[in-house]
C-alpha cells in the first residue's frame, strides 16, 4: 500500500499516527504530495476527485480517501484492541471527540485563509473572528470533557485531537495553553512514540 501524504496536513498526520498506534506503519510507503485548492496536484486528483490528501492506494483495490475512512479501514487490519471502539458509549465518545478535533482543524485552516493565504483586500475579519471563537469554545469544552487518564488507552478521538492541537501550535494559531487540563493532556500525549515519529514540517504552496 502507499499513502499519499502531506507533511504539514493535520488530516494526513492523523492517519500516520493512527497507523503507528495500530502497529501498521510498515505496511505502506508514505509519499509526500503538495496540493491545495489553488495549486492542484494531478497525481492526487487522479486518485481522489476532491484533490486532497490523505489517500491510501491499495494493490488491486480502489483508493481510499478522507482520514476518517482510511483510519476505519486500517482498524480492520490489526489484531490489537480497536482504536475506533465498536460498541456502547465508548464508541460515541471517541467519535464525538474526533468530530470536535476535525472541526477545530477546519477552523484553523479557515483562519489561515482569512489572515495569511487570501489576498489582503479579500479578507473578512468578522469571519476570522467567528472561526477563532470556534477554537476558543472548543478549548473550553475539551478542558472540561477530557479525563486525566485518557492518554493511557488512545482511540481515534485522542489521535485526532492530538494531531490537530499540534498542528495549531505548528501554525501559530490561537493557543489552548491557558486551559490547564487540555494543555497537560496534550503534553502527555505528545510524548508518545507515534507523535515523535511523525513531526509536522513544511509550508503550504498556493
> DSSP readout, 58-106?
ETTEEEEESHHHHHHHHTTS-SS--SS--SHHHHHHHHHHHHHHHHHHH
Res 148: pLDDT: 62
Res 202: pLDDT: 92
Helix (H) or strand (E) holding 170: helix 156-170
Of 74, 96, 124, at which residue does a domain stop?
74
Where residue 109 sits, what CATH number does that domain have?
1.20.1050.10
Same domain, 109 and 135: yes
Q: Among residues 147, 157, 142, which one has the least CA distance to residue 75? A: 157
202 within domain boundaries: no
- CA pair distance 159, 187, nearest whole angstrom: 13
Same domain, 100 and 189: yes
pLDDT band at 14 (very low <50, low <70, confident <90, very high): very high
206 within domain boundaries: no
> Angle, nearest 10°, between helix axes 10-22 and 88-112?
150
Residue 151 pLDDT exceeds 70: no
Same domain, 96 and 167: yes
Of 74, 102, 131, at which residue does a domain stop?
74
Domain ranges, residue 120: 88-193
- CA pair distance 31, 28, nearest whole angstrom: 10
Same domain, 184 and 96: yes
Same domain, 107 and 37: no
Q: Which residues contact 15 (CB under 8 A, 6 or more apart)?
A: 3, 5, 54, 56, 67, 70, 71, 74
Number of folded domains in the chain?
2
The overall longest dimension of the chain from CA atoms, in Å, is: 53
Cell of 77: 487490519
Same domain, 92 and 130: yes
Q: Among residues 150, 179, 178, which one has the least CA distance to residue 162? A: 150
Same domain, 95 and 131: yes
Res 65: pLDDT: 97
Mean pLDDT to the nearest integer, 114-133 = 96
Cell of 158: 485522542
- CA pair distance 120, 41, nearest whole angstrom: 25
Res 205: pLDDT: 81
Tell me the average pLDDT of the chain: 95
| Residue 153 per-residue DSSP state | S
Mean pLDDT to the nearest integer, 114-130 = 96
- CA pair distance 6, 126, nearest whole angstrom: 30
Residue 152 pLDDT exceeds 90: no
Res 147: pLDDT: 75
Task: Give the tens place of pLDDT for each residue, 74-111.
Answer: 999 999 999 999 989 999 999 999 999 999 999 999 99
Res 206: pLDDT: 79
- CA pair distance 148, 165, nearest whole angstrom: 17
Same domain, 94 and 42: no
Cα angle 155, 66, 165 (rounded to 5 degrees) comes to 50
Task: Give the tens place of pLDDT for each residue, 18-74.
Answer: 999 999 999 999 999 999 999 999 999 999 999 999 999 999 999 999 999 999 999
Same domain, 92 and 181: yes
Where residue 34 sits, what CATH number does that domain have?
3.40.30.10
Same domain, 95 and 178: yes
186 within domain boundaries: yes
Same domain, 119 and 168: yes
Of 74, 108, 123, at which residue does a domain stop?
74
Q: Which residues contact 26 (CB under 8 A, 6 or more apart)?
A: none
Q: What percent of the chain has pLDDT over 70?
A: 98
Q: What percent of the chain has pLDDT over 90?
A: 94
Amino acid at each position: 500500500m502507499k499513502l499519499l501524504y502531506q507533511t504539514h496536513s493535520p488530516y494526513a498526520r492523523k492517519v500516520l499516527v493512527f497507523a503507528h498506534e495500530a502497529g501498521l506503519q510498515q505496511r505502506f510507503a508514505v509519499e509526500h504530495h503538495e496540493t491545495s485548492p489553488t495549486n492542484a496536484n494531478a497525481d492526487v486528483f487522479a486518485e481522489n476527485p476532491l484533490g486532497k490528501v490523505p489517500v491510501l492506494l491499495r494493490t488491486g483495490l480502489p483508493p481510499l480517501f478522507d482520514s476518517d475512512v482510511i483510519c476505519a479501514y486500517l482498524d480492520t487490519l490489526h489484531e490489537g484492541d480497536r482504536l475506533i471502539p465498536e460498541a456502547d458509549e465508548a464508541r460515541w465518545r471517541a467519535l464525538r471527540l474526533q468530530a470536535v478535533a476535525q472541526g477545530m482543524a477546519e477552523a484553523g485552516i479557515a483562519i489561515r485563509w482569512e489572515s495569511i493565504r487570501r489576498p489582503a483586500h479579500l479578507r473578512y475579519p468578522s469571519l476570522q473572528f467567528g472561526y477563532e471563537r470556534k477554537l476558543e469554545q472548543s478549548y473550553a469544552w475539551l478542558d472540561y470533557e477530557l479525563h486525566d487518564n485518557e492518554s493511557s488507552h488512545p482511540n481515534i478521538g485522542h489521535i485526532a485531537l492530538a494531531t490537530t492541537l499540534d498542528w495549531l501550535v505548528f501554525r501559530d494559531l490561537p493557543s489552548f495553553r491557558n486551559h490547564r487540563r487540555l494543555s497537560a493532556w496534550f503534553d502527555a500525549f505528545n510524548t508518545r512514540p507515534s507523535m515523535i515519529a511523525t513531526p509536522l514540517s513544511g509550508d503550504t504552496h498556493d
